[in-house]
Amino acid sequence: MSLPLPAHLQPLCDALVAASHADAEPPPDALLTLCAWLETEGWDPWMLDAGDQPLALPLAALKEACDDRDAREWSDLTPDTPLTDAARIAWGRQVLEGWEDDMTHPTVHTCQLVASSGAKAFLGCEVGVEGQGDPSCRWRGLFKSRQAFLAQLATEGYWVGFLDNLPNNVILAAFSRPPKRNKRQNSVR
C-alpha cells in the first residue's frame, strides 16, 4: 500500500521513481526532502500503515553473543557433560529474547513510492530506538522492490525477520566450535 503524499511532493516522488527504474542515482535533494517529510509530517501515517515490521539482525552481533562457555554456564552443565546443539539453541534464544525486550536491533521498513505514471519504487529504512529516545531512521536507499531491499540487507550480513521465526541453524551457525578431528589423524600408528 502506498502512502498518500502531499501534492508538492509528487514531482519529487516522480523523479525518485524514474531514477530507480533507470538505475540512476536519485536526485539528492528529492531524496533528502522526502525522507525529512517521512520523519516528521509523514511519520504517523507511514508507521500506522506499516504494521509489525521484521528486525534487521546483524549476524556478526549474534556470533559475538553466542559462546559455548556462556551456553554451558547457563545450562548448568558439569565440565565433563557435553554441550548439545539443543543447549546452544536454548542459549541463543535466551540472548535473542533479551535483545527483543531491549529493542536492541532496528526494524526494517519500506515506503512505497508511486509516480504519477503508476510506476513504483521503495525507500528502504531501518528504524531503531536507543534507550528511552525517539525512533531514528537510517535511510538505506531507493529500491525497485521491497524484496530488493531485503536482499541488500542479506548481502550485508543481516538476517531479516521476526525472532520467533529465526531458524535454529542460524543460531547454531553463530557458535564457533573447535573443528572435529579426523579419526585417522588421532590413531596411533
* Other C-beta atoms lying within 10 Å of the C-beta of residue 129: 14
Distance (Å, whole) CA 148 – CA 20: 12
* Residue 189: pLDDT band with limits 50, 70, 90: very low
> What pLDDT, on the 0 to 100 scale, is given for residue 131?
63
pLDDT, greater one: 134 or 125: 125
Domain edges within the chain:
7-176
Mean pLDDT along residues 78-97: 89
> What pLDDT, on the 0 to 100 scale, is given for residue 154?
93
Strand residues in 72-187 grouped as ranges (E): 107-114, 120-129, 135-143, 158-161
Distance (Å, whole) CA 24 – CA 9: 20
Mean pLDDT along residues 83-98: 90
Distance (Å, whole) CA 149 – CA 140: 8
> What pLDDT, on the 0 to 100 scale, is given for residue 89?
93
Average pLDDT, the chain: 85
pLDDT, greater one: 181 or 39: 39
> What pLDDT, on the 0 to 100 scale, is given for residue 51?
67
Mean pLDDT along residues 80-87: 90
